[in-house]
Chains A and B, each alone.
Chain A
């Protein structure tokens, strides 16, 4: 096992966690060779998660430019986001590991809800760490986690967002490595998490590829997805990496100023460093301290990205660009009004980028956007932000 994606990845963790990480990898490799594990996973994906999720052809967006935009509808999974694909897979793994206590971190709450649901269904105890700031802006998901029987621990440290929730989950795991599985929610952290989470999310790319070929008779010209930690994007990209398909990852430009602390785009503005067990692009200052981030989408509000994304950036296979809070809010409204779909604010960044790129494609082009989650969780904060912007612009926005 190398656990490396080019120069990125690795296992920069306390010695206490090396044994559990090795055990996790060994158990995972054995599980993937075991037809009963695969059958159980497939069954749960079909009967609990609701897979396959459909492809939806947009009727209006993109039409002005003669471009067709398709959405891969991960928002239609049970619990409303792609996170459930990985949560159910790792919960099954935890069973094989003989660990009944699950801990997890969550930013937007989507991973937390997915973990809480998977644990409730499979009879595991769930403890979820969430930054207090994120909990305030994602109140519905906080309530859902509690309803599903999870214990939610609010984190006040640092910026009280996703990074700090990850730190606390890791501290919990260091304290209870023997009986606890850390159900990490993105393609980040020490090896083997980036590989395991990618594999569980690659179902998105496999389905999207087959479905696209079936309905369009060709592969898409481009695949576009948002990138915080980067699990939905790795999942969908993995179906197209070996083909001549343009792959675009969209990070959060925050207020759009490009100033440090006002965005969450390490793949554009960061430099390689080590955080939370992995070497990856990182927003950091000259002394190597990790910088504050900002995005209106809590799931993107993270100073690093998965190590495979860092490698895909350096190799040039994926291009990374940004969308701002304002662009995401505009896309959020537009998709709702024009197409009848309320996207998560995270996914709205991908929609915004697709709308910006559409005019640059030849007429007849087909763009696939991974709609990683639905926007119910964001209604309060998004509507408040839209209201504020209306006030600032004199009611014309």
Chain B
């Protein structure tokens, strides 16, 4: 939690939006994930969201689904992703790392053990898209025990009451969905996003709000600057990585996009 809190505090002081970069753990391979984490971290990502693959990623669109399947084919497991986190910390990566994954692999690992091992590996918290705040008692207990962040979501259709309850239960930040639907690159931000983010901000109070889903370009980021504490970019980054042919090319593509997006955060 502390690493995350310090990051948001530092950026708030500078008036910068946090750039949260999503990578799928194990994509394009387990071996390349560590170097990609280091690269996006160096290029300016403030927080890394690292995906733990699941066979049925219901909240994800085609790009992340495909990277997830590639990760599974390459042997990605929760344990393997924790090893990647530990390796990144050994190599000096200081950026907060949030583990993103669906309920079942985490439950299978065992929540108490998972949070203990994730803490030991150097992860900072969990983002679980199929875990609404009202189903999360056990998860929150483990998060508190191990001082980890536990991020819940707000959606455009969330009622005021749910927004308040969800924000009250979130630890670290609130993940605000910019649009209904699954992850994926979208051409334009929803025109109603300003009013929605105002509602979310009111409910969240001092809790940082990060906006994700459909954010792929510097102009999206610029449009959100000052309206949220952070922006989350996933599919666009993975697509850039997937389009490159060599490990060096993938590092370059990821660094370049993250650099451009971070520039728009300032």
21 residue pairs from A and B, CB less than 8 Å apart: A11-B135, A15-B152, A15-B166, A16-B153, A16-B157, A18-B132, A18-B134, A18-B155, A18-B162, A19-B157, A167-B58, A171-B58, A171-B182, A175-B182, A275-B104, A277-B130, A284-B108, A286-B108, A287-B108, A288-B54, A289-B72
Residue-wise interface mask of A (100-122) relative to B, using a CB-CB cutoff of 8 A (1 in contact, 0 not): 00000000000000000000000
Residue-wise interface mask of A (17-45) relative to B, using a CB-CB cutoff of 8 A (1 in contact, 0 not): 01110000000000000000000000000
The verdict on A215 contacting chain B, using a C-beta distance below 8 Å, is: no
The verdict on A174 contacting chain B, using a C-beta distance below 8 Å, is: yes
Expressed in whole angstroms, the Cα–Cα distance for A289 and B106 within the complex equals 10
Residues of chain A contacted by B159 (CB below 8 angstroms): 19
Expressed in whole angstroms, the Cα–Cα distance for A163 and B55 within the complex equals 11
Whether A15 lies near B158 (C-beta < 8 A) is: yes
Residues of chain A contacted by B109 (CB below 8 angstroms): 288
The verdict on A14 contacting chain B, using a C-beta distance below 8 Å, is: yes
The verdict on A170 contacting chain B, using a C-beta distance below 8 Å, is: yes
Given A18-B158, A276-B56, verify A10-B130 contact (CB < 8 Å): no
Residues of chain A contacted by B177 (CB below 8 angstroms): 15-16
Whether B132 lies near A19 (C-beta < 8 A) is: no
Whether B56 lies near A14 (C-beta < 8 A) is: no
Question: How far does the Cβ of B110 sit from chain A's closest Cβ, in whole Å?
Answer: 10
The verdict on B145 contacting chain A, using a C-beta distance below 8 Å, is: no
Contact check: which of A19, A276, A289 meets B158 at CB < 8 Å? A19
Query: Which of chain A's residues has its CB closest to B157's CB?
Result: A19
How many positions in chain B have a CB within 8 Å of any CB in the partner chain? Answer: 39
Expressed in whole angstroms, the Cα–Cα distance for A163 and B58 within the complex equals 11
Q: A14-B58, A14-B129 are in contact. List 8 more A-B contacts (CB 8 A).
A: A12-B132, A13-B58, A174-B59, A175-B180, A277-B130, A284-B108, A287-B79, A288-B108
Whether A15 lies near B153 (C-beta < 8 A) is: yes
Which chain B residues (59-81) contact chain A, with CB distance < 8 Å?
59, 61, 65, 72, 77-79
Residues of chain B contacted by A10 (CB below 8 angstroms): 135
Query: Which of chain B's residues has its CB closest to A273's CB?
Result: B104
Query: Which of chain B's residues has its CB closest to A19's CB?
Result: B157
Whether A174 lies near B55 (C-beta < 8 A) is: no
Whether B103 lies near A14 (C-beta < 8 A) is: no
The verdict on A282 contacting chain B, using a C-beta distance below 8 Å, is: yes
Expressed in whole angstroms, the Cα–Cα distance for A157 and B62 within the complex equals 10
The verdict on B15 contacting chain A, using a C-beta distance below 8 Å, is: no
Contact check: which of A20, A275, A276, A290 meets B157 at CB < 8 Å? A20
Whether A287 lies near B105 (C-beta < 8 A) is: yes
The verdict on A158 contacting chain B, using a C-beta distance below 8 Å, is: yes
Interface residues of B (CB under 8 A from A): 54-56, 58-59, 61, 65, 72, 77-79, 102-109, 129-132, 134-135, 152-159, 162, 166, 177, 180-182
Whether A19 lies near B181 (C-beta < 8 A) is: no
Whether A14 lies near B155 (C-beta < 8 A) is: yes
Whether B182 lies near A288 (C-beta < 8 A) is: no
Residues of chain A contacted by B103 (CB below 8 angstroms): 12, 274
The verdict on A177 contacting chain B, using a C-beta distance below 8 Å, is: yes
Expressed in whole angstroms, the Cα–Cα distance for A250 and B107 within the complex equals 28
Whether A273 lies near B182 (C-beta < 8 A) is: no
Question: How far does the Cβ of B105 sit from chain A's closest Cβ, in whole Å?
Answer: 4
Residues of chain B contacted by A277 (CB below 8 angstroms): 130
Expressed in whole angstroms, the Cα–Cα distance for A130 and B166 within the complex equals 35
Expressed in whole angstroms, the Cα–Cα distance for A285 and B151 within the complex equals 27
Query: Which of chain B's residues has its CB closest to A289's CB?
Result: B55
Residues of chain A contacted by B157 (CB below 8 angstroms): 16, 19-20, 177-178
The verdict on A95 contacting chain B, using a C-beta distance below 8 Å, is: no
The verdict on A390 contacting chain B, using a C-beta distance below 8 Å, is: no
Expressed in whole angstroms, the Cα–Cα distance for A18 and B133 within the complex equals 10
The verdict on A356 contacting chain B, using a C-beta distance below 8 Å, is: no
Expressed in whole angstroms, the Cα–Cα distance for A276 and B130 within the complex equals 9
Residues of chain B contacted by A14 (CB below 8 angstroms): 58-59, 129-130, 132, 153, 155
Residues of chain A contacted by B131 (CB below 8 angstroms): 12
Residues of chain A contacted by B156 (CB below 8 angstroms): 16
The verdict on A60 contacting chain B, using a C-beta distance below 8 Å, is: no
Residues of chain B contacted by A290 (CB below 8 angstroms): 55-56, 104
Residue-wise interface mask of A (154-167) relative to B, using a CB-CB cutoff of 8 A (1 in contact, 0 not): 00011000010001
The verdict on A59 contacting chain B, using a C-beta distance below 8 Å, is: no
The verdict on A176 contacting chain B, using a C-beta distance below 8 Å, is: yes
Whether B155 lies near A284 (C-beta < 8 A) is: no
Whether B58 lies near A273 (C-beta < 8 A) is: no
